[in-house]
Amino acid sequence: MNTVLFLPYLILFLCFGGVILTLDLEKLVDNDKNVYELTCVAIKRASQVANDPDYVEKLEEHHDKITIDALNQVLNNEVEYTETV
């Protein structure tokens, strides 16, 4: 697996099997939310996305992965959730 960081955007490119996955590391590092909660929300969102055949087909057309897409949605505040105390 090759990992390359490009500044100033800090986008992580994971290349394997001819697929490029992008994750905005700057948002991940600068995020001040609970990492455990973010992980749980991303897991739940990935599960929701995996059960939607139309969405999965769209991701496959763009060679995207469900987990990376779900985590990006969480980091971009596209998924609403309530924090637990």
Backbone angles phi, psi at 2, to 5 degrees: -105, 135
Q: Give domain status of residue 83, yes or no.
A: no
pLDDT tens for each residue of 2-37: 444 444 333 444 444 445 557 777 777 788 888 888
Q: Give domain status of residue 33, yes or no.
A: yes
Place of tokens 């897409």: 69
Structural domain harbouring 65: 2-75
pLDDT tens for each residue of 38-57: 889 999 999 999 999 998 99
User: From CA 28, how far away is CA 10, in angstroms rounded?
Assistant: 10
Q: Give domain status of residue 85, yes or no.
A: no
| pTM: predicted TM-score of the whole model, two decimal places | 0.66
Q: Give domain status of residue 41, yes or no.
A: yes
Q: Give domain status of residue 81, yes or no.
A: no
- Let me know if 55 is exposed, middle or buried by CB neighbors in 10 A (0-12, 13-18, 19+): middle
First to last CA, the chain: 38
pLDDT (0 to 100) of residue 48: 93
pLDDT (0 to 100) of residue 61: 85
The count of structural domains within the chain is 1
Q: Give domain status of residue 25, yes or no.
A: yes
User: C-alpha angle with apex 64: 58 to 67, nearest 5 degrees?
Assistant: 105
Q: Give domain status of residue 21, yes or no.
A: yes
Q: Give domain status of residue 84, yes or no.
A: no
- Structure token digits, residue 2: 């090759």
